[in-house]
C-alpha cells in the first residue's frame, strides 16, 4: 500500500508565495521613510488653530500673547519687522500617529508570514516523508 502525499507541492508553492508577499510587506513597512509625514507647507496650521496640540513658550511665557503684543521681532535691529500672530505657522510630523494606526496591518503581515512559514515547513516535511527510500543491499 502506498502512502499518498497530501499535496506537498501545493503547500510548498502557496506557502512560499504567501511568505514572500508577507515578508516584502513587512520589509516595506519597517523601512519606510519617516520624513514624508510632515504637514505640507501649503497646509501649515496657524498658531491660534494649533493650541490643542502644541504650546510654544519663550522664557516661560506663551508665544501667542507675545506675538499679539508685538514683542517679537525678526531681527535684533530696532527697524526689523515685528512678528504678528498670522505670520507664524506650524507644520507637524504625523509619523508617530500614522505608524500607530498601521500596527494592526503590521500584525496581520506578521501572522501571514508565520502561517506561510508553517505551510512551507509542512510541505517540506510532507514531501520529504513521502519520498521512496533507497534500500541498500548488504552483501
Instruction: Write out the residue range of the structural domain in which residue 102 sits.
Output: 1-34+96-131
29 neighbors 102 (Cβ within 8 angstroms): yes
Indicate whether 134 pLDDT > 70: no
Separation of alpha carbons 63 and 46, rounded Å: 13
Indicate whether 26 pLDDT > 60: yes
Q: Could you tell me if residue 18 is inside a domain?
A: yes
Indicate whether 3 pLDDT > 70: no
pLDDT tens-digit readout, 31-70: 888 777 787 888 888 887 887 878 888 888 888 888 888 8
Q: Are residues 65 and 21 in the same domain?
A: no
Average pLDDT of span 72-79:
79
Q: Are residues 17 and 53 in the same domain?
A: no
pLDDT tens-digit readout, 32-42: 887 777 878 88
3-state secondary structure of 38: strand
User: How far does CA 77 lie from the centroid of its chain?
Assistant: 46
Nearest to 30 by CA among 113, 137, 91: 113
Name the DSSP letter for residue 43: G
Nearest to 128 by CA among 24, 31, 5, 1: 5
Q: Could you tell me if residue 139 is inside a domain?
A: no
Q: Are residues 67 and 87 in the same domain?
A: yes
Separation of alpha carbons 137 and 18, rounded Å: 43
Q: What's the pTM?
A: 0.49
Average pLDDT of span 65-90:
81
**What is the reported pLDDT for 1?**
44
Number of domains composing the chain? 2
Q: Could you tell me if residue 138 is inside a domain?
A: no
Alpha carbons within 13 angstroms on the beta-carbon side of residue 55 total 7
Q: Could you tell me if residue 4 is inside a domain?
A: yes
Indicate whether 23 pLDDT > 50: yes
pLDDT tens-digit readout, 87-133: 888 888 888 888 888 889 889 888 888 888 888 888 788 777 766 66
Amino acid at each position: 500500500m502506498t502512502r499518498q502525499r497530501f499535496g506537498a507541492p501545493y503547500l510548498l508553492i502557496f506557502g512560499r508565495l504567501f511568505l514572500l508577499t508577507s515578508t516584502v510587506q513587512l520589509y516595506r513597512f519597517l523601512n519606510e521613510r519617516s520624513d514624508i509625514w510632515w504637514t505640507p507647507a501649503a497646509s501649515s496650521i496657524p498658531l491660534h488653530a494649533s493650541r490643542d496640540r502644541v504650546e510654544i513658550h519663550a522664557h516661560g511665557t506663551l508665544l501667542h500673547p507675545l506675538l499679539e503684543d508685538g514683542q517679537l521681532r525678526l531681527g535684533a535691529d530696532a527697524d526689523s519687522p515685528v512678528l504678528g500672530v498670522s505670520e507664524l505657522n506650524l507644520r507637524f510630523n504625523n509619523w508617530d500617529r500614522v505608524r500607530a494606526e498601521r500596527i494592526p496591518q503590521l500584525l496581520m503581515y506578521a501572522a501571514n508570514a508565520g502561517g506561510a512559514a508553517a505551510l512551507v515547513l509542512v510541505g517540506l516535511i510532507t514531501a520529504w516523508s513521502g519520498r521512496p527510500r533507497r534500500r541498500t543491499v548488504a552483501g
